[in-house]
Homo-oligomer: A and B are copies of this chain.
Amino acid sequence: MKVVITGGAGFLGQLLIRALCARGRLQDATGAERTIEQIVAIDQSHAARLFVDERVGYVVGDISQSALLMHVLGTDTDSLFHLAAVVSGAAEADFELGMRVNLDGTRALLDTCRTQRRPPMFVFASSVAVFGGELPQVVTDDTAATPQASYGVQKLVGELLVGEYGRKGYVDSRVVRLPTIVVRPGKPNAAASSFASGIIREPLAGEEAVCPVETETPLWLLSPTAAIEALLRAHELPRAQWQAVTGGRALNLPGLTVTVAQMIEALRAVGGDAAVSRIRVAPDPRIKAIVQSWASRFVTTRASQLGFRADPSFDEVVRTYAATHATTHTTIHTTPGTPT
């Protein structure tokens, strides 16, 4: 089978490609195990070090360009993971860019999918950012999405379009709303949520991190590993089961509700007081406004029915990150009662 991944040079894209190559096979919508022959990653630019495998090709380009998409998808694409997006802070700062990539890009992908030999599987990574404004204490599967920022609006429009193309039978649509993904390795990005990884990652690397929101701010989090598992599960669930539970709508994924203060304590458990001392809290009104408009408490009944799972604890998320990305600046602490 041929798999196309937008945003394939990004952090999640690279993790997904590694996971796909390691498995070598993927279940299709009929439940049949199929060998992955080809993976094509599209991205606006490429990271310095990309995962290399004979099955993987990389294409640089803008997903809003139909000609590029027709070239990349051909007519034989079986599965598409649509991860590419202009992130929240950048979409708010550059309206046209956000509209072009997040909205026109999704639309162009969907239209290109209609030219495939068979309707492809279309897994769309949407976001918790579709929720905003006056929200109930706890967001449920039936809570209305009311985004308050460009990124959330564009993701919600994307969800609706992917769902509609699914309803029409042009794609097999699977839309999942990702919590904030923490801990991302590498550099900060223009996402308003970038700090949530930064306040763990930078201190563990011996660097200072700025936290632009108050420490009592709650966030709704998922680890990169759990996010990749969720994308693969969304792909592999039989169509009938997916439809029966979701009705073809976007699925709120499980996650952990963690305050920044609790994140800092998890950092302390792994990196000690020295790591914590590298965090400086300096509220930024622009970032705060976006982050505070996001939902942080969910009951994800449908996702649980479909077997999606959150990380066991945020401490575990930090420990896993530190174990995989430890540097000389980090002394990893093990806490009593935590076998490592």
Contact = CB atoms under 8 A, between A and B. Distances in A.
How often does this chain occur in the complex, in copies? 2
Interface stretch (A24-32, A82-90, A158-166, A301-309): A158-166
A283 interface: no
Say which size band chain A's interface belongs to.
20 to 34
A156 B160 contact: yes
A95 to B, nearest CB: 6
A145 B142 CA distance: 10
A93 B157 CA distance: 22
Contacts of A331: none
A134 B247 contact: yes
A148 interface: yes
Chain A facing B: main interface SS: loop
Contacts of A156: 160
A144 interface: yes
Contact of A160 (B95, B134, B157, B247): B157
A55 interface: no
A44 to B, nearest CB: 22
A4 B153 CA distance: 26
A95 B247 CA distance: 21
Q: Which 6 A-B pairs have the closest CB atoms?
A: A144-B144, A153-B164, A157-B157, A153-B160, A157-B160, A133-B247
Given A148-B167, A150-B168, A153-B164, 11 more contacts: A133-B247, A134-B247, A143-B144, A144-B144, A144-B145, A146-B247, A147-B160, A150-B164, A153-B161, A153-B163, A157-B160
